[in-house]
Amino acid sequence: MPFDPELVPATGTLTDPFGRDITYLRVSVTDRCDFRCVYCMAENMTFLPKREVLTLEELERLCSAFIRKGVKRIRITGGEPLVRKGIMELFRSLGRHLDAGTLGEVTLTTNGSQLSRYAAELADCGVRRINVSLDTLDADKFRSITRRGDLTKVLDGLEAADRAGIAIKLNMVALRDFNEAEIEPMLRYAHGRGYDMTLIETMPLGEIDDDRCDRYLPLSEVRARLSERLTLTESAYSTGGPARYVGIAETGGRLGFITPMTHNFCESCNRVRVTCTGMLYLCLGQNDSADLREPLRASEGDELLSRAIDDAISRKPEGHDFVIDRQNAGPNVIRHMSVTGG
């Protein structure tokens, strides 16, 4: 029977105004990335000064505070988290919480470019699952959408993670007139290697160079097309995140749908996000936030930090207000996904 982080006893409880227990923390460790994906970043990004970014020690303190309050899952994100210098120190620190039984799971979202280097060490630190962003298997299109990525490095990284015993899920952003014809081939590629796969609708976050209306592809449309060729069966499978899964009879694998635009998942939201600067965002699609860096740096103790977390959770909104259409072509939220954490 697979290990279930939800069975880990909580030492505290974070409950929002709508009765949802917050058990899932996503932590961005850097806004920097070695790619410039067209739906995520502008080509010429201005990154944060290093003095504004939390140190690895501060990130560990912050994570520990949330663990004491009942968080059972922590996902490390970016930017690209594995480009952060010394990042394995944080994974080793979180691994000690796994060993102690106070944390159920540490996962990672990555573009895969650094996996060949770090996969074995990640497994040694207790990472058992990762999400890898991959939108095409065409090398030229991959370089086009990432503006600088090398598909071969990513595929080598997937093989390294697989050898290390890490379960892999591919995250594919569905983009009209770019990769919609590649969704089924990607699905067969993933399931043929024992990977899960999730499709994601593009979201109105941050100023980018493309027109989101031109690229936006509702997953309801994608699912209808897939159903014409494949047998999709509703699944109760869940990883604790927002994806809703179906089984694919022809491949024997699972396919998830993350649909913030066509069918939001706010009613079951159990997560909050912390940026690499220590800003706690209570909802991906809202601007309400709390500064955790100030209490972190104001005292060596965690009393101020704990109070700031409690106060913030008491303001968590019920849901987001994402819209993409010709009248709302700009971002609903100004910050880029690379700042909030993917």
pLDDT at position 236, please?
93
- Please give the chain's pLDDT, 342 residues, in tens: 345 655 555 556 899 998 999 999 999 999 999 999 888 878 888 889 999 999 999 999 999 999 999 999 999 999 999 999 999 999 999 999 999 999 999 999 999 999 999 999 999 999 999 999 999 999 999 999 999 999 999 999 999 999 999 999 999 999 898 899 999 999 999 999 999 999 999 865 445 455 545 778 999 999 999 999 999 999 999 887 788 999 999 999 999 999 865 555 567 788 999 999 999 999 876 778 999 999 999 999 999 999 999 999 999 988 755 444 444 444 444 544 555 655
pLDDT at position 90, please?
98
Taking the C-alpha atoms of residue 270 and residue 241, their distance in angstroms, rounded to an integer, is: 8
Task: State the virtual CA torsion across 106, 107, 113, 118 in degrees, nearest 10.
Answer: 30
**DSSP symbol at 50:** G
Strand partners, 24: 73, 271
Q: How far is CA 263 from the centre of its chain?
A: 18
pTM, to two decimals? 0.86
Residues in binding site for GTP: 26, 75, 109, 169, 271-273
Taking the C-alpha atoms of residue 296 and residue 301, their distance in angstroms, rounded to an integer, is: 8
Taking the C-alpha atoms of residue 173 and residue 217, their distance in angstroms, rounded to an integer, is: 9
Q: Is the dihedral of CA 216, 222, 223, 224 positive or negative?
A: positive
Half-sphere exposure (Cβ direction) of 80: Cα atoms closer than 13 Å: 21
Angle in degrees, 0-180, between the axes of helices 87-100 and 56-68, rounded to the nearest 10 = 20
Residues in binding site for [4Fe-4S] cluster: 33, 37, 40, 266, 269, 283
Helices H / strands E in the chain, number of each: 11, 12
Residues in binding site: 26, 33, 37, 39-40, 75, 79, 109, 133, 169, 203, 266, 269, 271-273, 283
Q: What is the DSSP string of 100-158?
A: HTS--EEEEEE-STTHHHHHHHHHHTT--EEEEE---S-HHHHHHHHSS--HHHHHHHH
CB 34 within 8 A of CB 47: no
Closest CA to 54 of 24, 86, 23, 8: 86
Which CATH number covers residue 120?
A: 3.20.20.70
Q: Pull the structure tokens for residue 155.
A: 């595929």
Taking the C-alpha atoms of residue 70 and residue 12, their distance in angstroms, rounded to an integer, is: 5
pLDDT at position 285, please?
66
Taking the C-alpha atoms of residue 84 and residue 63, their distance in angstroms, rounded to an integer, is: 17
Taking the C-alpha atoms of residue 122 and residue 208, their distance in angstroms, rounded to an integer, is: 32
Residues in binding site for S-adenosyl-L-methionine: 39, 79, 133, 203
- Domain tally for the chain? 1
Helix (H) or strand (E) holding 305: helix 303-313
State which residues form the domain around 283: 5-340
Q: Please, which contacts does 143-147 make with residues 24 or more away whose CB atoms are closer than 8 Å?
A: 145/37, 145/38, 145/39, 145/175, 145/178, 145/179, 146/35, 146/36, 146/37, 146/111, 147/35, 147/36, 147/37, 147/38, 147/43
Taking the C-alpha atoms of residue 217 and residue 86, their distance in angstroms, rounded to an integer, is: 38
